[in-house]
Amino acid sequence: MRKKILFLTRTALLLAVVIAFQLFGKMIPYNNFIVGPVVNAALLVATAAAGLWSGIAISVIAPLVSAFTNKAPLAPLVIAYSPCIIIGNIIIVLAFWLFRKKIELPGEITGGILGVIAGSVLKFGFLYGSITIFISMVSDIKPQQAAALTSMFSWPQLFTALAGGAIALAVLRLAGKALEYRE
C-alpha cells in the first residue's frame, strides 16, 4: 500500500509541475528552452523517484496536455505528431532507467549520466527522423510549417533533453536517499 501511495503522490506532483510549466510557459517567448528541460527533468526524476511506470505515465500525459492546450497555428500538426513525442519521451525514460538500474557501474550517478546521454541522443534521433517522415506524409503542409516543425524537433530536442537530464541528476544527487525508490 505504501508503495502505491508513494507512486501516486510522486507521479501526481511531478505531473503537476510539468503541466504548470507547460501552461505558464506559453506566456514566455522561446519557452521551449525553459519548459523542455523541466519536462525532461520531471520524466527522469519520476523514473528514479517513483519507478519506470511513473516516468512512462508522465511521458504519455504531458505531451497530450501540451498539445490540447496549445493555441499556436501549428497546434493541429503537433496534436497529430503527439504519438511520436510520447515515444520520444518513453525512449529517454527507458534509457535512463536501464542504465541507472541495470548496468553495474561504480555509483548510481554514473549509470544515470550514461542514461541521460544515451536517452537524449536516442530521443533526438527518433524525433528528428520521425518529424521528417511525418512532414513527408502530410500532403497539405505549408513550407513554413514544415520548417517550424523541423526546427522544433531537431537539435533543440537534444539540448532540452541533456539540460533536463543535468537538472534531474542534480535534484537526485541533492535529494539523496529521500527520493530513492525500490522497484
CATH code for the domain in which residue 10 is found: 1.10.1760.20
Contact 6, 181 (CB under 8 A): yes
Euclidean distance between CA atoms 87 and 70, whole angstroms: 20
- 102 vs 124 pLDDT, higher one: 124
Sign of the CA dihedral running 116, 121, 124, 129? negative
Q: What is the pLDDT of residue 90?
A: 98
Q: Is the pLDDT of residue 108 over 60?
A: no
What percent of the chain shows pLDDT beyond 70?
A: 94
Q: Name the percent of the chain lying above pLDDT 90.
A: 71
Chain position carrying cell 513554413: 144
Residue 169's region, left for phi above 0, alpha for psi from -120 to 50, else beta, is alpha
Residue span of the structural domain in which 171 resides: 2-179
Residue 104 has a pLDDT of 58
Distance CA 92, CA 73 (A): 28
Q: Over the range 141-173, which residues count as b (16 or more CB within 10 Å of their CB) and which as e? A: eeeebbeebeebbeebbbbbbbbbbbbbbebbe
Count the domains in the chain: 1
| Max Cα distance, the chain (Å) | 53
Who wins on pLDDT, 86 or 71?
86
Mean pLDDT confidence for 27-35: 82
Please write the tens of the pLDDT for every residue from 126-183.
999 999 999 999 988 999 999 999 999 999 999 999 999 999 999 998 987 777 766 6
pLDDT for the residue 89: 98
Instruction: Please state, rounded to an integer, the average pLDDT across all residues of the chain.
Output: 91
Looking at per-residue confidence, does 53 or 181 come out higher? 53
CB 118 within 8 A of CB 105: no
